[in-house]
């Protein structure tokens, strides 16, 4: 049975991921591949409901461990309803954020124990690990300027301060080191065409 490919995009705020997710999906479709473009938290009706709770309201009302449980609850539904059925049907899944965002935001950034997050990952994601993860990297100030320019600075995860975002960036770089088999760091500085070319090079290289 053919099995699709699973590509995830990760990184801090203002890295320009969402634009690049759409561009890659389009480029793969031009190659006649059947592509499902999705995102986290969200990507299925039930997970989108959890997203609406998780990303709104008083920041800090949950501990990083509780946030991890919410993110993995949404992820469990997303995997069951969207990702696994698509992969089993031979489709390519291109996802804006996935489990590495929990490792970085709740773990490295928030201080949730990595053993806790890894046990959730083992239980919920299991064998459905991404085939390729593109980690968008750029200096924190550049990313926050971009996010601020988009008027997004006020959303709960973007209003946490520079130190949090520095931990986040280092967290993502560490993930790329630990999971070097599936991760590629994408230099997110520069214009969208230049970044899109880097993304395509990584996809062609890793997924012939």
- Whole-angstrom Cα distance, residue 23 to residue 19? 6
Nearest to 37 by CA among 20, 14, 54: 20
Strand order across the beta sheet in which 183-187 lies: 35-39, 92-96, 6-11, 132-137, 183-187
- Whole-angstrom Cα distance, residue 35 to residue 26? 8
Which residue among 4, 41, 107, 171 contacts ligand TYD (CB under 6 A)? Answer: 41
Q: Does 97 bind ligand TYD (CB under 6 A)?
A: yes
- As given in the structure block, the two tokens for residue 200 are 């395509």
Closest distance to ligand TYD from the beta carbon of 168 (Å): 9
Q: Does 169 bind ligand TYD (CB under 6 A)?
A: no
Q: Does 55 bind ligand TYD (CB under 6 A)?
A: yes
> Helices 140-149 and 162-178 meet at what angle, rounded to 10?
120
By residue count, the chain amounts to 208
Phi, psi of 112 (to 5 degrees): -65, 135
Give the nearer residue to ligand TYD in terms of CB position, either 77 or 96.
96
Per-residue binder mask for ligand TYD (CB under 6 A), 104-133, x = binder: -xx---------------------------
Q: Does 102 bind ligand TYD (CB under 6 A)?
A: yes
Q: Does 56 bind ligand TYD (CB under 6 A)?
A: no
Q: Does 172 bind ligand TYD (CB under 6 A)?
A: no
What does the binding site for ligand TYD look like in residue numbers (CB under 6 A)? 13, 17-18, 40-41, 55, 71, 96-97, 101-102, 105-106, 157
């Amino acid at each position: 049975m053919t099995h699709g490919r699973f590509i995830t995009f990760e990184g801090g705020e203002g890295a320009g991921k969402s634009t690049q997710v759409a561009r890659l999906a389009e480029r793969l479709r031009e190659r006649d591949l059947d592509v499902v473009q999705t995102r986290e938290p969200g990507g299925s009706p039930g997970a989108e409901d959890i997203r609406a709770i998780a990303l709104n309201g008083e920041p800090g009302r949950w501990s990083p461990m509780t946030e991890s449980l919410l993110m993995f609850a949404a992820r469990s539904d997303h995997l069951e309803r969207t990702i696994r059925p698509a992969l089993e049907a031979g489709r390519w899944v291109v996802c804006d954020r996935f489990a590495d965002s929990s490792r970085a935001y709740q773990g490295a950034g928030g201080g949730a124990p990595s053993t806790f997050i890894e046990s959730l990952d083992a239980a919920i994601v299991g064998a459905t690990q991404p085939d390729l993860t593109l980690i968008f990297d750029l200096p924190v100030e550049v990313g926050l300027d971009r996010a601020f320019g988009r008027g997004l600075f006020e959303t709960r995860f973007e209003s946490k301060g520079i130190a949090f975002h520095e931990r986040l960036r280092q967290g993502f770089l560490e993930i790329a080191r630990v999971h070097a088999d599936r991760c590629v760091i994408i230099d997110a500085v520069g214009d969208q065409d230049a970044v899109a070319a880097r993304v395509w090079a990584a996809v062609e290289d890793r997924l012939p």
